[in-house]
Amino acid sequence: MNAEKMRSNIAGVSELSLKYIGLTGEDIERLHSMAEKVLSKKDEIISGVMSSLTSDPDAVEVIRKTGLEAERAIKLFELWLTKVFKDQYDEKHALSVFRIGLAHVKSGVDERLMINNMGAFTREILKHINNVEDALVVSKALFWNLSMMIYSYEYIKNLVIEEAIGTSEELMKRLISLFSERVYKELLELL
């Protein structure tokens, strides 16, 4: 897939996510106005996230395999957290967050861990938010970030399916649907 098509796909997913989640220009301005307050608590926020991260055996294994040191992880979290509250949620921002997701894919971080980590960030950030309106805006922003990061997993899976395996995306979706139906029926037996 060429770079222009990739850019277009990422921009399209970003626009759909912004609309679906309801993250507006006013919300982005509100994030910017919260930036100083929230970022002044970044050490406390990241400490709480790191505590959750290091309590997960899968996360610890990824950290071990990649050789990621705590100081580097903290610095990366700080950079991303700053983007959440200071960036524009435009195409450039979408590409940047997609790239963050791609770095996680490349490092072996699975979607479950990505989602749990975003949950930990949500928990820690919301501890410092005083009203429902601000909490709603922060939640929308974090879900947009999660959407862009998770899209990087989908993008790579589709690329592997099409280019390395040679199966069309449509066929793969059909196979996933069939296998999901089978697992769903098996799960019903457990309930």
Q: Provide CB contacts within 8 A for 46, sequence distance 6+.
A: 74, 77, 78, 81, 124
Q: How confident is the model over 149-161, as pLDDT tens digits? A: 999 999 998 888 8
Helix axes 132-159, 111-126, angle to 10 degrees: 170
Q: Which residue do the tokens 């705590």 mark? A: 70
Tell whether the model's pLDDT for residue 2 goes beyond 90: no
Residue 138 to residue 42: CA distance in whole angstroms:
14
Q: How confident is the model over 86-116, as pLDDT tens digits? A: 999 999 999 999 999 999 999 999 999 999 9
- In this prediction, residue 171 carries a pLDDT of 86
| DSSP single-letter state for residue 121 | H
Question: Which structural domain, as residue segments, surrounds residue 56?
Answer: 3-190
- In this prediction, residue 114 carries a pLDDT of 95
Collapsing DSSP states into helix, strand and coil, what is residue 94? Answer: helix
Tell whether the model's pLDDT for residue 51 goes beyond 70: yes
CATH for 92: 1.10.490.10
- In this prediction, residue 32 carries a pLDDT of 99
Q: How confident is the model at residue 4 (pLDDT cuts 50, 70, 90)?
A: very high
Q: How confident is the model at residue 1 (pLDDT cuts 50, 70, 90)?
A: low
Question: Among candidates 99, 106, 112, which has minimal Cα distance to 145?
Answer: 99
Q: How many domains, in total, are found in the chain?
A: 1
Tell whether the model's pLDDT for residue 16 goes beyond 80: yes
